[in-house]
């Protein structure tokens, strides 16, 4: 099978797996590597040390597959209306309302890799979804999937930005797609203006240290005091800069499975979880990344910002937790909640 036919059949097979976006980029050095390196040097990655540790590996996709000649970029959509718990105002980022997307996408990528290796004997293929040292957005733009928004998200005219990026690296040379070179954000600054923690020092640059997603997921210790109140009701992740984007106005539900229970987590109930129960309930989901410490810390802060008097007893118990980070968050939340109640 020649490269053109191989790419066509691969697109069809990828679509069958739910990848609605498909494009092919040449396997050359990442366009934005210097920009990425500068971002790291500015300290914007915060405590995400793994980005620095694998910095140089992100320069070229050959660090993942030495024989790579083509990078097939794929987009898998997910639902986009942020649900809010009717009683607590608790919010969870859309991508976290189902299984851990890494494993979910890896299974699909593994099937595509096996297929192309069978169709092109002697070739190699390897899938990558987020955790591999690949600058996915660079190759996605080069593959024609969209442009970089001012909130740093990749945006497609039809799908908006609510989609996962995944890559299939292969040693087969496939016909490349037309790169996306234009930006369609114009003078709009809705995403920048809506960020409650002011995490964008300039358009197209994210200071992760102020990003609610980073604070609720990647940060392992105490959340800075000045950023706790602006977090509002976000328990895990944040969709604000996507929710306000005009390119996301149309509801475009994807095939990513969701679990309604994850959209209705009660922060009061979460404060009673021990480590064993946390593991039982959240293994296999994105929440597992925060560990018990991070999730209960976040739950306490949410209650400080949005809770009612019924949360006081749970926070009083959390203030006695063995974990210092949870105790600190509970203490802050009690003070904040009592201030709010006194003003109401």
Provide the 8-state DSSP code for 120: S
**Rounded CA separation 343/317 (Å):** 24
Which of 31, 111, 130, 266 is the catalytic position?
A: 130
Phi, psi of 57 (to 5 degrees): -70, -20
The strand pair at 234-236 and 91-92 is best described as parallel
Catalytic residue status for 156 = no
Q: What is the DSSP string of 206-273?
A: --GGG-HHIIIII--SPPPHHHHGGGTTEEE---HHHHT-GGG-S----S----HHHHT--HHHHTT-
Q: Which token pair is 137?
A: 């957005």
- Return d(Cα 207, Cα 43) in angstroms, integer: 8
**Secondary structure (H, E, C), 2-51:** CHHHHHHHHHHHHHHCCCCEEEEEECCCCCCHHHHHHHHHCCCCCCCHHH
The secondary structure of residue 284, as a DSSP letter, is T
In angstroms, the CA 191 to CA 200 distance is: 9
Give the catalytic positions in this structure: 130
């Amino acid at each position: 099978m020649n490269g053109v036919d191989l790419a066509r059949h691969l697109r069809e097979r990828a679509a069958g797996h739910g990848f609605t976006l498909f494009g092919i980029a040449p396997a050359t050095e990442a366009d934005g590597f210097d920009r990425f390196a500068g971002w790291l040097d500015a300290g914007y990655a915060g405590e995400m040390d793994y980005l620095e540790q694998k910095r140089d590996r992100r320069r070229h996709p050959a660090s993942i597959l030495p024989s790579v000649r083509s990078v097939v970029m794929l987009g898998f959509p997910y639902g986009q209306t942020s649900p809010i718990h009717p009683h607590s105002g608790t919010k969870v980022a859309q991508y976290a309302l189902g299984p851990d997307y890494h494993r979910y996408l890896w299974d699909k990528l593994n099937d595509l890799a096996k297929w192309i290796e069978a169709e092109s004997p002697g070739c190699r293929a390897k899938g990558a979804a987020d955790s591999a040292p690949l600058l996915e957005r660079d190759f996605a733009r080069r593959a024609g999937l969209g442009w970089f928004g001012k909130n740093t998200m990749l945006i497609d005219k039809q799908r908006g930005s609510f989609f996962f990026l995944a890559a299939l690296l292969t040693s087969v040379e496939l016909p490349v797609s037309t790169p996306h070179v234009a930006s369609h954000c114009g003078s709009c600054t809705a995403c920048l203006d809506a960020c409650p923690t002011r995490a964008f020092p300039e358009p197209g640059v994210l200071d992760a240290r102020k990003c609610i997603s980073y604070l609720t997921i990647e940060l392992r210790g105490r959340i800075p005091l000045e950023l706790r109140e602006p977090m509002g009701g976000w328990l895990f992740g944040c969709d604000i800069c996507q929710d306000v984007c005009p390119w996301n106005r149309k509801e475009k539900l994807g095939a990513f499975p969701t679990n309604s229970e994850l959209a209705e987590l009660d922060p009061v109930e979460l404060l009673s979880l021990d480590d064993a129960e946390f593991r039982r309930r959240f293994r296999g989901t994105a929440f597992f990344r925060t560990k018990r410490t991070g999730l209960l810390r976040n739950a306490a802060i949410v209650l400080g910002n949005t809770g009612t008097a019924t949360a006081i007893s749970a926070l009083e118990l959390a203030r006695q937790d063995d974990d210092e980070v949870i105790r600190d968050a509970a203490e802050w939340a009690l003070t904040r909640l009592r201030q709010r109640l006194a003003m109401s």
